[in-house]
Structure 1
Amino acid sequence: MAPEVCKKKLDSIIDEIFAHLSDLSSLRRQLDKELRDGYLQMAKARSNMGQKSISSLQYDERQIEPSIFVEVNKEGAGPHSFNISKDALQADLDSTLDGTSLRKRSTKCSEVIETVGPDFVESEPADGKSIAEKKAKDPLLMFGVLVPQALRMSKSCFERSIPVITKICSTQAVIVCLKNEYLALRSQL
């Protein structure tokens, strides 16, 4: 590769690195804000409910299942990309139970869930292994039915931080790939 072409390529890589560093800095500020707000709201909830009401002793860690997964995709020699995906059961539930095709009725014996679609009618009792049982539990219910609003706000702050974290990881992976490309081109000079 000609030295002039190589130098122009190095300059464009440096410009890209600085652009990604700027994005990374703003994403980190956003993440810091969300986490700070989440911890502050959790502290408010602890003071409202009592110091021992919100702790790891309140729930059984063996029964906790993730509701969000982060998938890592690696395409060839390029950077990793990080994507958020819901739990497989939750995704199945969302796809089969949209607001237009679900109707809930109470009967005398037990509750029956009917899924009414354009071509079929499906019934199943809510007692056994049903679709409603597959739905992910709200983790706040481990602390009681009436939890403080601050605890709900804390949960939403932490949920909003998850996409920001995946963007930070993807941006850092791009920066590392650009750095390696820069070093490889620089060694050719």
Structure 2
Amino acid sequence: MAGQVSPAELDSLLLRLLEDLEELEAKRTALNARVEEGWLSLSKARYAMGAKSVGPLQYASHMEPQVCVRTSESQDGLQQFRVMRAGARIPEEVGPREAALRRRKGSAKTQQPEPSAAPRDPLNWFGILVPHSLRQAQASFSEGLQLAADIATLQTRIDWGRSRLRGLQEKCQQPEPGAA
């Protein structure tokens, strides 16, 4: 009986898989709506500012990302994707940068200002007073990026659930060793 799979276990796994699939469909729909809304807002901004005012010629020569995608393992061993600010550090990374003690008084070096850790807002590339539709486009694409990370996490969980369900089904179909 140790090799048997309970029907309740199969049912709960199948129910969770179906809930995840339903959530995945809802997030994909929301992502498509956000992307459509972003492109519509971007086209409104191009119309308001002029086609040549919003384009590749206004991009900075050196761009720095504002966000990055980090992966981590959840409690059940599955990967999770999170969108974080580019300068933000996860708690595991926080700690002393130098192992040695620092001298506080009488520093021989002159203090140089560090470059700002926060990246500049790309909307400033297009001027100071940008149309509201351009800000809406930025917000829509940012929300879309978060939704894409959620979708990737869900897809990982669904793939794991499907493979586990297949394994349990194969285990159910195998005859017991003492039944032959």
Q: Same fold (TM over 0.5)?
A: yes
Name structure 2 gaps, 5 residues minimum: 91-110, 173-180
Q: Deviations over 1:3-48 (max 9, x none)?
A: 8634332222111110001111111121112111111000000111
Candidates 121, 130, 136, aligned match of 2:119: 136
Q: CA deviation at 1:164?
A: 1.6
Q: CA deviation at 1:139?
A: 0.1
Q: Which residue in 2 is equivalent to 1:154?
A: 137
List aligned pairs for 1:109-148, cutoff 5 A.
130=113, 133-148=116-131
Task: Give the whole-Å Cα distance in 1 for the aligned partners of 2:50 and 2:7.
Answer: 63
Contact 2:71 2:80 in 1 (8 A): yes
The amino acid across from 2:13 in the alignment is I
* Greater relative contact order (CA < 8 Å, ≥ 6 in sequence): 2
- Structure with greater helix percent: 1
- Structure with greater strand percent: 1
Q: CA deviation at 1:75?
A: 5.1
Contact 1:90 1:135 in 2 (8 A): no
Q: 1:129 to 1:135 in 2, by over 3 A?
A: farther
Task: Give the whole-Å Cα distance in 1 for the aligned partners of 2:133 and 2:89.
Answer: 26
Q: CA deviation at 1:177?
A: 0.5
Count of residue correspondences: 152
Q: Which residue in 2 is equivalent to 1:124?
A: none
Q: Which residue in 1 is equivalent to 2:40?
A: 40
Q: Deviations over 1:46-82 (max 9, x none)?
A: 1111112211222235x11111111111358732111
Q: Which residue in 2 is equivalent to 1:123?
A: none
Q: CA deviation at 1:2?
A: 6.1
Q: CA deviation at 1:163?
A: 2.0
- Cα RMSD, aligned residues only: 2.6
Contact 2:72 2:80 in 1 (8 A): yes
Secondary structure of the corresponding residue to residue 64 of structure 1: coil
TM-score, scaled relative to structure 1 = 0.70
Secondary structure of the corresponding residue to residue 155 of structure 1: helix
List aligned pairs for 1:1-189, cutoff 5 A.
5-61=5-61, 63-74=62-73, 78-88=77-87, 130=113, 133-189=116-172
Task: Give the whole-Å Cα distance in 2 for the aligned partners of 1:31 and 1:170.
Answer: 14
Q: 1:182 to 1:159 in 2, by over 3 A?
A: same
